[in-house]
Chain A
């Protein structure tokens, strides 16, 4: 289908983009790679009056070292992230998960910020930045503010971003020594969404898992942390059996959806199995 008529601007600075968005009111939308928004437009599930294309704003792209953290421009593409040496050195989980997003064409066009701002719990990267304890920076007419990943995802396709705000950067604390990671994605075909995905981080110390962080993809209306499994894994021996036992709590408190690719009980089961595998891989066992 052809999208409904809309106006289109492509500012070259962030300030221009913020004022263009403010001028568009509630019916203005930001577009980056367009991998989620364009299909919505074509199906006329979204019909904004104005699209503000942030694709020409250089300051929104790239990764910089901030000392204890990395700052990743929201417009950085999945492909940028997959090949970035700073990401590889300090938060490789993000690169690993970005490598599983859709297909090569999408990975070259789609952006980290777009994926997060879209707020789809079936998207891979929301659960990943949740597990990485990231902070998101938004710029609006009132200036800049920071939102923790834990507060960012509000509901299905709904984030804490206000109308008029643009997601500008994602700040990720560097993982120190001893951390390992794994993104376990279960999907029926290579280009399908995750039926369930598990983003796991584990810090090993003296033969045990000292600390674990687990984000779950597509296990509810928003990406969630598997808090009970994280607690159970903390202090557990770094062994497959122990981590599998911890993973038995991975679905505690979740409300997974049921659809053609999996009923809720199947998703719960997958979350437990995949969490066990992801933790074992993250812990290097």
Chain B
């Protein structure tokens, strides 16, 4: 994914793994794509600055054009669909890009102590893990299929069992919508079951923004089988050969002049009673399906972030944030917005707040949520979210959205901060961009009396180990915890 959305003629990649004795970490939301996206989107901004080209213009010159999809990247991945031009145009408009650039120039010209930065992240990611053959080639221990079962109860209710277990992201709702559409049964008649191997013995679970693109497609396959089984029974009940029976919106009807029809829920009851089934027909229309995708899916989007940097204190305030995501067809817009909002917050947190800090002896210093900072709604802007739609190659046309916000937002924020301070000669600030780090970068750039950032960092470490701090040294045992306010 390191090439992002850009066309490249050649590609060289080196990855250095470093073993440390710090806390082991596990897959973080986006697992790998946030890191790759951060690198590519930061580098593209630096390249634009070096070449003196407007950063969005440089991106547009190099990104894959919408008519070039499906597109096989230099790394060998085939991007299914996308329209970077459309998403970027929409984001620019919602953001007021040109107006903000004009304001940025005014603040620069007037020497305003509060400088404005504009950060861009035109990201893509790969999700819908994963074609089992690909996982096999990467020596994974398992495949990447997903399982679904549909049980057509005699009451007309439908039980949907999914192996893609939800933990709060709304599968119960979205899966019910999909099955309601496929089988033509009322949404409220569907019950989604998951989360316990006694209920759902097969499945690969939810991760890698795969649930909809893989688990959702397993539902579609299972629904196809249910309809095919029901059609045989319907054919007997309607006294018409199967090829003369049509299924639409939950109703089987004979194409002949009788005009007879049966709902799929009536068929379910007939199958259960089994009083009058055609010869040799099993008395059930329940079905299982296991879906293995042919390819990943590649959502993308354009995220734009405006920050105001107080150059006297180093404080970064996010003024506005626009996210235009293209995740293919959308099943449930509210769930998608929720995923995007949460993902952006998490990516902003990485850019500005979250850090595991150790002392020189390897002790973790950020041991409480007073020290390991996580933003709340009070620290974040109201996001503007919107979408463009480039359907994926699967039958639902869906991609994944569970990690998009996290992948996109971190470079948008850091690019914005660096953009604000670039006239001072600042080209990078280490994440998280704490007020102190931003302030020190400004001091160093201005060539004042401040020591280099590295020396300052050492000074900070030394202060910490002296134990004279009222905050952040709970590891030493004799200081009070920070608890959120007064008595």
Contact = CB atoms under 8 A, between A and B. Distances in A.
Interface stretch (A62-70, A112-120, A130-138, A139-147): A112-120
A156 B464 CA distance: 17
Contact of B376 (A31, A106, A190): A190
Contacts, number: 145
Interface residues on A, range: 35 or more
Nearest to B469: A259
Contacts of A123: 485-486
A39 B481 contact: yes
Q: Which of B312, B366, B480 has the most CB of A within 10 A?
A: B480
B373 A35 contact: no
Interface residues of B, number: 40
B251 to A, nearest CB: 54
A40 B376 CA distance: 23
A40 B473 contact: no
B31 interface: no
A118 B470 contact: no
A282 interface: no
B378 A191 contact: yes
A218 B470 contact: yes
B486 A257 contact: no
Contacts of B470: 120-122, 156, 218, 221, 257, 259
Contacts of B485: 35-36, 78, 101-103, 106-107, 110, 115, 123
A168 interface: no
Contacts of B430: none
A109 B451 CA distance: 44
A47 interface: no
Contacts of A101: 485-486
Contacts of B472: 259-261
B357 interface: yes
A128 B472 CA distance: 24
Nearest to B369: A191
B486 A259 contact: no
A189 B375 contact: yes
B80 interface: no
B378 A114 contact: no
Contacts of B483: 35-36, 38-40
Contacts of B366: 260
Contact of A117 (B435, B460, B487): B487
B473 to A, nearest CB: 7
A263 B456 contact: yes
A34 B313 CA distance: 33
A153 interface: no
A165 interface: no
Contacts of A195: 435
Interface of A: 31-40, 43, 45, 78, 101-103, 106-107, 110-118, 120-125, 156-157, 186, 188-193, 195, 218, 221, 257-266, 269-270, 273-274
25 contacts: A33-B487, A35-B486, A35-B487, A37-B487, A40-B480, A43-B481, A102-B485, A103-B376, A103-B485, A106-B485, A110-B485, A115-B486, A121-B470, A123-B486, A186-B315, A188-B373, A193-B482, A218-B470, A258-B466, A259-B470, A259-B471, A260-B357, A260-B365, A260-B464, A261-B472
